Amino acid sequence: MSVLASIDLQTLGDAFGLGAIYALMAVGIGLVFGVLRLVNFAYGQLIMAGAYTLAYTSGWPVAASIVSCFAVVVALSLAMDRVVFRPLRSSSPAVMLVTTFAIAFLLQAVALIIDLRDGQLGEVASSIAPLNQAVSVGGVDVRKVTFVAVGVALGALIALALVLTRTTIGLHTRAAASDFRTARLLGVRANRVIAFAVVVSGLLAGAVAVLLTVQNPFVQPDFALEDTIIVLVGVVVGGIDRLWTATLGGFAIGFVSVLVNAALPTDQTVFLPSVVYALVIVVLLLRPAGLFAWGRRAAMERV
């Protein structure tokens, strides 16, 4: 019982908060994967760029600061597509992935140079920090940002679901995600669909930048790097072939990490990554196509 007793409402609140942020990142990664078949490792650096924008515009009104964060992230996301993803469209998955490693390192190195102009590492984004204060709900302290995160995630997911199911561009995107070549033959314009996916994924990265910066206002070049890696793992564990299984995977890994952290004895919490990644291996072995990919077995392509 001791394990269950340690998982209280407080922990559940944190778990939902982190799960919501990871779900947003999972959608951003999953959308681009859907149309480009590209695992974008540099997604975290988009978030990092947004966080730096928030830090450097700390003196501005909060709204202006957040708008500029979104603008920078979307612009960077589009530039990444134009300069890197487009020439790579016909390359093998390994080449695409390794190129995004290189881009991630490139952006991190650039951020380091910009950051070090004032002689010390890290910048503080102070203007939106008040969201990090706790409010008491039924005797449990929950940080305001948890509500905001869950709210933003739900709102963004519902809006995206509506766009994907009710609009032409959404229909085109879904068609491209299930079979790009056939969709193109049927008149779907590749560049428009990809630009749509890239912009939406950039907007989501901007939102995540705001939410993560509230929780951790100290921005460094490796900001969000660890989160991105965990979300990438979660996306594959959930099932990267479909957007909703990828999203659930992202949510699940955030949610489960917080719960496992709470369940471990205090002197053993340093082994949290081992426990989480051992779970990842078990899930992958049992359901290689994805934890939530029900009803479809991974069939080997016939000759």
Partner 1 sequence: MRFSLGALVELLGPALLVIVVGLLATTASASNEVYFLNALVSVAIVVAIYVFVGISGVLSFGQISFVAVGAFAAGVMTVPVESKKGVLTTIFPILRDHSVGNVPSLLLAAALGGVFAFVVGMPLMRLSGLAAGIATFAVLEITHNVLREWTKIGPGATTLALVPETTGALQATLGALVAIVVAFLYQRSRRGRLLRASREDPAVARSVGVNIHLERLLAFTVSGALAGFAGALYVHLLGSITTEQVYLELTFLTLAMLVIGGLTSLWGAVVGALAVSGLDSFLSRAEQSDVHVIFTFTLWQGTRLVFLAAIMALVLILRPSGLTGGREFRLRWLRRR
301 lines the binding site for partner 1 (CB under 8 A): yes
In the list 9, 75, 112, 124, the residue contacting partner 1 (rule: CB under 8 A) is 112
| Cα angle value 97/231/31 (rounded, 5°) | 65
274 lines the binding site for partner 1 (CB under 8 A): yes
Q: What is the number of H-type helices and E-type strands within the chain? A: 12, 4
What's the CA gap between 50 and 208, in Å, rounded? Answer: 9
Check: CB of residue 55 under 8 Å from CB of residue 129: no
Q: How far is the CB of 281 from partner 1 (least distance, A)?
A: 5
Torsion angles phi and psi, residue 101, rounded to 5: -60, -50
92 lines the binding site for partner 1 (CB under 8 A): yes
Judged by CB, which is closer to partner 1: 158, or 281? 281
Site string for partner 1, 218-247 (x = CB under 8 A): -----------x--xx--xx--x-------
Which residues from 10-39 bind partner 1, rule CB under 8 A?
A: 39
294 lines the binding site for partner 1 (CB under 8 A): no
What's the CA gap between 12 and 132, in Å, rounded? Answer: 17
- How many residues in the shown chain lie near partner 1 by CB under 8 A? 45
270 lines the binding site for partner 1 (CB under 8 A): yes
Q: Where are the alpha helices (DSSP H) in 37-80?
A: 43-56, 62-80
Judged by CB, which is closer to partner 1: 110, or 162? 110
What's the CA gap between 163 and 168, in Å, rounded? Answer: 8
Characterize 145-173 residue by residue with b for buried, 16 or more Cβ atoms within 10 angstroms of its Cβ, and e for exposed: bbbbbbebbeebbeebeeebeeeebbbbb
What's the CA gap between 89 and 92, in Å, rounded? Answer: 9
280 lines the binding site for partner 1 (CB under 8 A): yes
303 lines the binding site for partner 1 (CB under 8 A): yes
Site string for partner 1, 157-196 (x = CB under 8 A): ----------------------------------------
Question: For residue 123, what is the enclosing H or E element?
Answer: strand 123-124
Structure token pair of residue 162 = 């509506």
Q: How far is the CB of 145 from partner 1 (least distance, A)?
A: 27
293 lines the binding site for partner 1 (CB under 8 A): no
Could you list the residues that contact partner 1 (CB under 8 A)? 39, 84, 87-88, 91-95, 97-99, 101-103, 105-106, 108-110, 112-113, 116, 229, 232-233, 236-237, 240, 270-271, 273-274, 277-278, 280-281, 284-285, 288-289, 300-303
